[in-house]
Amino acid sequence: MNCHHPDEQPAHAPAAEPAPATPPALELTIEKAVFEGHALARLGRHVIFVDGALPGERIRAVITRRRRRHAFARLLEILAPSPQRCAAPCPVFGVCGGCAFLNMAYPAQLAMKKGFLQDALRAWPAVADKLADVLGMESPEFFRNKMVYSFGGTAAEPVLGMHRRGDFHAVVTAEHCLLQSLTARAIIRRVTGWARARGLPPFDERTKQGLLRDLTVREGRRTGQRLVLLTATAPHPDLAALPEVLGDLADTVLLGFSPAAHNASRVERIETLKGPGRIEEQLNGLTFEIGPTTFFQTNTLQAERMFRTLAAWADELRPRVALDLYAGMGPIAFHLLAPGRTVLAVESHPESVAAARRNQERNRLPPIEWLTADVEQTPETIFARQPDLIVVDPPRTGLAPKAAARIAAAAAPHLIYVSCNPATLARDLPLFLRAGYVVERIQPVDMFPHAYHIECLVQFALALPL
């Protein structure tokens, strides 16, 4: 077995020796899993990323792409499997881009995700010390309340599912997918059969030809209501039959249009074909209306646990004025409400704010002061209300520098950062530490079993100068 790294070939190798047509296989030991879902091994000073291997495994792999200090390799064989390895309960695991760790025992996934956060925070040992174990799911399957399935294949053999791992242009069927529900699988089968019978062509991003782009399925885990949005490149007479095709599998059916010239499926116009165009979902007994495009946490059960934790922390802190930044449709603001407490909320997406206001009425909640604005542009009058608790829940990109600076300058005694990306959390953290904050506790929550993502709540307190 050849354990020689191609980079280690002597530069002066005799010209007479032809280079091998394929690079030689390497034997590697996986040191750990890293955030983006790769397994990491080392060869001398080089880091090698491999997909499909687990920490501690001895494997054989072949280099597929090489950079100066790191390389990517394809797994050929597992020589010594990890005791955490299990049979993935999905026939397309490894090919489908949806799950990275379906072949790893769930408790080991949780420990690995805590490791992702420890890695991200290793420059601040006192902060990393505050990290609790990840709150995992009791049954980590059929947990997503929203999936966007892409159309692929051909008009004669359409496929509806997820992008193939490493190939954005190929689609792998989601007919066996464990992430959403058995009803979602039935919807996929029915829509695929209809597209095949009618000869409706899937859209191909490379040629910019075709009609069917993607299918969004949203399901209320607590209410059982289902919304289906089909996005096409242009109107087509056959599309009007979609409600009939879906029958009682969907309570409301919508058609969205995203012209072929768009690079991604950016929905320009939406028509409602059946029902009210939105569904309801509940979180800890609060009812939310969910439209086709509004942001809503995709794992209902874990969102409930995360928001209960956040509400319990807020109750301990007893803020008089609490400010929810990046508020979406208001679940955090709603969980912050308490007698004698003023809650302010800032969100940039007008439809989410309008839905939040309706949700507030629907739940007969006390008033919340809403502001539709970018956090970067939040008027000083909001910070002048002197919030004693600021909660931030930014998108994966984290806080924009201007937003982070303004939040830190507000010097609220308590701050809770809800992060869905350890990398941007680690980028934003030093600003708050420099502003005099200390981290009190970090509670990770597994919102995305089998994927590498990890969400966490970080509680900061402003330390008094000595």
Q: Which residues bind ligand SAM (CB under 6 A)?
A: 295-297, 326-329, 331-332, 346-349, 352, 374-376, 393, 395
Q: Which residue, among 335, 332, 325, 314, has the nearest Cα to 379 in the 3D structure?
A: 325
| 203 vs 313, beta carbon nearer ligand SAM | 313
Which of the residues 90, 96, 99, 420 is marked catalytic? Answer: 420
Cβ count near 277 (within 10 Å): 17
Residue showing the smallest CB distance to ligand SAM in the complex: 328
In angstroms, give the least distance from the CB of 451 to ligand SAM. Answer: 16
Supply the minimum distance, in Å, between the C-beta of residue 400 and ligand SAM: 6
Q: What number of helices (H) and strands (E) belong to the chain?
A: 10, 21
Q: What is the largest CA-CA distance in the chain?
A: 84
> Which strand (E) or helix (H) includes residue 77?
strand 70-80
Residue type, 433: L
Q: Least separation, in Å, of the C-beta of 310 and ligand SAM?
A: 10
Which of 456, 450, 419 lies closest to 89 in space, CA to CA? 450
Is 414 in contact with 389 (CB distance < 8 Å)? yes
- Of 185 and 349, the one with the shorter C-beta distance to ligand SAM is 349
Q: Residue 32 is inside which H or E element, if any?
A: strand 25-33
Nearest distance, CB of residue 265 and ligand SAM, angstroms: 18
Give the whole-angstrom CA distance, residue 91 versus residue 166.
18
- CA distances to 402, 431, 461 from 412, in Å: 17, 14, 8
- How far apart are alpha carbons 399 and 15 in whole angstroms? 54
| Cα gap 23→13, rounded to integer Å | 16
- Compute the least distance from the CB of residue 288 to ligand SAM, in Å: 9
Q: How many CB atoms lie within 10 A of CB 243?
A: 17
Edge-to-edge, what's the strand order for the sheet holding 167-173?
A: 167-173, 158-164, 146-153, 212-219, 226-232, 252-257, 269-274
Q: Which is nearer to ligand SAM, 146 or 450 (CB)?
A: 146
* Closest separation in Å from C-beta 114 to ligand SAM: 21
Residue placing its CB nearer to ligand SAM in the complex, 109 or 352: 352
Cβ distance to ligand SAM smaller for residue 104 or 345: 345
Q: How far apart are CA 308 and CA 304, in angstroms?
A: 6
C-beta of 115 vs 330, nearer to ligand SAM? 330
Q: How many residues does the chain have?
A: 466
Distance CA 348, CA 403 (A): 13
Q: CB of residue 282 vs ligand SAM: minimum separation in angstroms?
A: 14
CB of 388 to ligand SAM, least distance (A): 19
DSSP for residue 311? H
Rank residues 265 and 348 by Cβ distance to ligand SAM and give the closer one. 348
With residue 346 as reference, give the H or E element that holds it.
strand 342-347
The three-class DSSP label of residue 100 is: coil
Question: Can you read off the two tokens belonging to residue 80?
Answer: 């010594």
Let me know if 70 is exposed, middle or buried by CB neighbors in 10 A (0-12, 13-18, 19+). middle
Residue type (1 letter), 327: A
Closest CB 404 distance from ligand SAM, rounded Å: 11
Active site residue 420: yes
Of 291 and 331, which has the nearer Cβ to ligand SAM?
331
Q: What is the rounded distance in angstroms from the CA atom of residue 76 to the CA atom of residue 25?
A: 8
Q: Which is nearer to ligand SAM, 188 or 332 (CB)?
A: 332
Q: Which residue has the tokens 């010390």?
A: 129
DSSP letter (8 states) at residue 365: P
Which residues are annotated as catalytic?
420
